[in-house]
Structure 1
Amino acid sequence: MAEIEEEKLAEFTRTRGLKLIWLTKNKQLKQANSLLEEEVDLNCKDEAGWNAIHYAAAGGYTDLVKTLVKKGVRVNKKDRNGETPLHKCSRRGHILCAVSLVTLGANISKYDKHGQTPLEVAVKSRNVEMVKLFCLFGAEPSLQDWSWTMEELDQKENQILELLVSQHSRMPGYKYGSILQTVLYVSPKDGIKLDNIGVEVLKCDTFSPFYFYCSKMQTEYSEIRSKLTDEQETYGDTYELCIWDCSSQNLKLKLTVPGVTQCSEKLFAIALEGKPVSVTNVYRHLAEDSDVEDDFTEVLVSVPLEERKLSRFSIVKHSTPEIFAISNEQATTIIPQMEPDAEIDIPQGTFEQPSEMAVNIVETKEINKEEDNGTAILLTNVLELTVNNGQQPKEPIRVVKPIHDMEAVSDDIVVLTSTTDQPEDSELDWEIRDATINPDGKSAFFYVNHFSLKKRVVFFLLTKWINSKSSELVLECAGMRQLDQRIENWTGNGYDCSTLQKSDVYHAQIGQSFNLKLNGNLTDMADEDTKCITLQSNRNNSRVFNIGVNESCEQPEGELEIFQEKEADEVPKEVPAVHSKSIWCTSATVPKPHVANVVVESILKMNIKIPEKPVIVEEKPEVHSDDDDDDDLQTVENMGMQENEPITNDMSLKKIVNLTKTIYKGGKAMNVLVIKTKKKGYVR
């Protein structure tokens, strides 16, 4: 009797199961949901081998799919052809339903009987957004049929092909853990913390649940490096975010990144896709100051998101000095936030005019290692001081710096100073002077009485034809770090790279002017009175000539001569005679008649090359000049104190400089270090 009852119940539930399939297939969702409150056989299939979840996925009925899975229907259930619900919604293009299935555990790599994954089904359907979605979730682009790529592709097919090629290059990242990702259906009130990715959502603009995708990938798998300048570095990985079932919101995230930044380094976000992302705060956690095993940084970011629109961004670091206003009428004491125990005392009347001082600190703790013989060790961080308008102090400036290695304190310390913006291992670039330890033994002080204005520059020249009678010639005086970028800027604006002429490296002063003169059969058609370049910080130092020839039948030939003004009583610096294809350097001097006590020295002559077959340009392209970075500010030179005792060169200065080499970021000059020696005045 009991067996008969069980058979009737089974038949009854099976009938309801078939009814559920019919209701779902015919879009009667309200009745289908009501039926699910009763006893229903959820595993039964119709004659086509489809289950209710297949019809729900094919129709894009996301809520019904979630209910069926919650009641026990397998999310990867296959029909007679081996297709899963994910295959069904992929073919029909239901994005939200596909996202929901993946969050419920659907396998994006399942094959049907024809060897096709849901990704290949989306490709065959020419659904770009669905292909993009599966690539986002890490689907492998292993298609059975690539024949469609052998024909002429339309716009959609080209987009799909680009997505597949890009995804192929990312597959090693998924395989070896260089790309980590997750997609969840989350409720903001429950908190969102993704420990495997190192991301925590601190705040949302909505209280409703939504689908949330988050990925972290190493920078090798993103295009961030092509977006950076020479002074910028990536800090951590590249992040991808996306939301569904939520119109828009602004997420506040906390990213946990291994390691800590230098005190002078600032973090900001570069958006590679989507709206701009901002860094709102940074917290450094040092293992020595807390219970954590390793140093790490918490970076708080604000990410604006729109539904179904990807946001991709990277955290980037760069060194930024602190800027302080300096009065010419009263004494100023500067205490940098980077190193609060440091102090820079500027007496009243030190500068003739109000100005600004930039203070930069670079930490040396990580490279604070003794040499093999134990005679030299870094005691302080690196200090860089700059003044924005090139003024020289009339009074010594007292600088106090904390000693960060208390075990190495000694009565015998010296200051290593540099006079150039890119010092090398040469005694010409470095000086060694005394410093004094304060009575508390926690800091040392020294004096600054001069700021160097020297900068290593290169003159370069390029030309281009404007029409059959005239050409343009540009001469620029560029710093070493900006040289390649500046040349690329001009060639990108139509100047012929084959006409490029470059000088040797020249040591120039900020504020120094160079007069220019055209020789040969060339004339300046603009005939401007100002024919000079003045070397200044934070700008591009260039001069553009519109040149023509004296007789139109002649091939343009000539040279651009560069002169430098000097005081008459100053002995002209001997410039070595150098000959190359385009440069002659001489030390000849010519008096300047209308300026007393000034002479003009010809320092360079640069041959002008103009192609014999001009490329005629109808419109003169506009030249865009980017401002130079603030790396070209003048650097500290002499730490003004009494003359040192004679230095005994038992060991060359190069070995001391080698201690500091790793702290020069991208060749940037960092100028003051205090080092310990065994005996006062002896460098080892």
Structure 2
Amino acid sequence: MKTAKFVILSQFRQEEFDVTHEAVKIIPQSESSAEINIPEGAFKSPGKLLLNVADTNDWNGEENVLFTNALDLTMQNNDQPSKPVNVKFQLHSLTVSVDDFIILASHKDIPASEEDWEICSTNIKIEGNTISFSAEHFTIFAVGQKKNFKKSAESATMAVLHYRPTEIFACLKNETDSKLTLIVEIAKRSCGKKRRKYWRQNGFRLQTIEYRDGIVQDGERLKISLEGNFQIDTLRSSKEHIIFNKKRNYRTFHIISDQHEPPIGDVILFRSTKKIVEQLVVDTLQNKPKMSFCQCLCNNAVEVATSRKAVIENGIEELVRLPIDGQLFDENQDVSVDIDDPQCTIPVLRKSSLFRLAKQLSEDECYKLGVELHISEKKLSSIESTPAFKTAMFEMWRPTRPNETLVFN
């Protein structure tokens, strides 16, 4: 019988603050530059303010669409202020004028798309690197770009749900003639280049597809599957998964190839597919018993049915597929030299790469390619009758050059 795993949805609240009818200024630890100034009489009865901050900076690429983190303000008793509350928090960037800002406010407890956001009509003020505005009610707020509301709202949704843009990659290191080490890593987009440089400097070789983009949720558990003409010597159940978190976002595998050919295959990452459903939950409540001679005849249990939102895992889907090719490993490669090193001045392919390409072409195709590479037909004719014509053609086009061992490709 197929079973489904249910998880009750709850919105993570990072901090709690006591609120009374008196005026109070709240400075959250998670966003120390932020301030929530609640005026006197905004709340008639005391309660607790629940505050959560979602980091949005990962969703800014070449163009900034979110200029602050997302700030979630909710009273535990769902009360709303009767007076405007001044909210102030720090800007990511000062390169845009106040006229280009909009305050995004979600009308849903858990926004699921850009349709769950609206523009909050309020006066915006900028003081130094902080922005302030008046909030008529408590909800989730973020500062977006006026000319790109849709993109700002989409990015705010992903940030509030704790998703991050990532770069997922695999790299190989040759340990012995028949054994290689495989690294599979999920890096935040802002750290991807730095992480790949780290592995290169430790002797690993990136693959033809250097990385693939993926959107992964904080704490998400992804299943790793390996396919190809090789075996893994230590594949335990705990290593079949990778968890995206702030500590360690990579897994190590040892590839053993019993064949004469180098290992070729794919690394595949799968994620669980989920959907939000309404689940009917029946709670049994006990009434306080009354002292009477007929107490034994009374049923003090009352069943109360309530509806709750739940997440159900209903399958898996492929997130990314990364080709791996042991042929790409070149023992003569100086992997300690960075691709951005100023000494790397010759933007050419390695001969080993060109010779592998030659194997994929017929002699006729290789001849036509030589013409396209501006090798004269006279020179091509002079080597056409040689047994190793394809290799000779690439040798002619790309002769040995000084400092070529510094080139990384």
Q: Under a length normalisation based on structure 1, what TM-score does the superposition of the two structures give?
A: 0.27
Q: Under a length normalisation based on structure 2, what TM-score does the superposition of the two structures give?
A: 0.43
More strand by share: 2
